[in-house]
Chains A and B, each alone.
Chain A
């Protein structure tokens, strides 16, 4: 399933290009208007993590809905329903989204840190937050993408439906990223973030068959 997703992706490179370009454009806009001199160093660790996660969130919203919308548009959804179990499809799509989000983060975060000259006190915590947060973004958006693929006005609906689901996640990741730049471990926030990821995964696995099967 996972291999099939990537093979389809490499045929068009639609999501990859959109995601990378979108993220890079927003990145340039943000760092151009803020710059190394745009924010005082004391405010930097408060403001800059928020902007990083907003860039990531909107890039995800631009690229990830494709995973299921494309199946409906090319009318391959029915063939997929016949050839694999719902949980295999969900896991495959999730893995694909996850690799996409992680690739995006690997691309964007270093560039962002360099362009805004934001200093990170504990890089390992930042890496952990990016991994856990990226996983949460992938799970949440995979499930919401499955829901909106069958509705009309898909593009706008994705943002409307996914933001309330991803809001607690973003609050946690922003707090933790702030903690990482300031060198503060953040207490229970990281376990709660992992718990949220777990909850979303379980909910996704339980709810996905209902969304998927007509």
Chain B
């Protein structure tokens, strides 16, 4: 069953890749039209990064209510994967920005907010490392993850709008104003679904690896 699911995912992602290069048209309004194909991989990565946050917050809440260490581990793994996808989204975004806007980094609101969320993930992992007692660690980390869920909406939606309105920058808006071709939308949503499935598949693998590692690290428990 598990191999069936994995091969289905493999097939699905292969279709997405083929679709991204041969089915979807390029966005002609871009400076370099071909560069628009990155949207099928970059945007789902950013979604997955945010998905990691939400999943971690859900598992953290469950941990606070039930106290089951499996939920704590699941939350920690979700944060780690969210960080991986966040770094990938940042790097691919910087590559695209170099081509389209001419600079790797230009403090566009989106870049700023994803950088801040990466800082948050890193802080969460630092907190986990500095507490020895597993129950205390779980509790403090869960509280911090929930605090993160409170703060991130401001980072992602509110603050960019405000700083944007004070500093109008016409370059930023070119990608926001592009009307999407329906075929681009098909591939984008299919890719998003594929990436979400990939996220949970990787999450499951990593969670099992870490629980095995924990068991063998402390055989007396």
Contacts and interface: CB of A to CB of B under 8 A. Distances in A.
A189 B162 contact: yes
Contacts of B139: 210-211
Contact of A168 (B122, B130, B155, B165): B155
Contact of B123 (A143, A160, A199): A160
Contacts of B126: 157, 160-161
Contact of B130 (A153, A165, A179, A187): A153
Interface in B146-167: 146-148, 150-151, 154-155, 158-159, 162-163, 165-166
B140 A172 contact: no
A196 interface: yes
A152 B131 contact: yes
Interface string B81-108: 0000000000000000000000000000
A165 B127 contact: no
Interface string A72-105: 0000000000000000000000000000000000
B144 interface: yes
A151 interface: yes
Interface residues of A, number: 32
A188 interface: yes
Given A151-B127, A152-B132, A187-B162, A163 B64 contact: no
A192 interface: yes
B127 A147 contact: yes
B140 A150 contact: yes
B11 interface: no
B140 A167 contact: no
B147 A207 contact: yes
B132 A188 contact: no
Given A150-B136, A152-B132, 12 more contacts: A150-B140, A157-B127, A157-B130, A160-B122, A161-B123, A168-B158, A192-B158, A199-B150, A200-B150, A210-B143, A211-B139, A211-B143
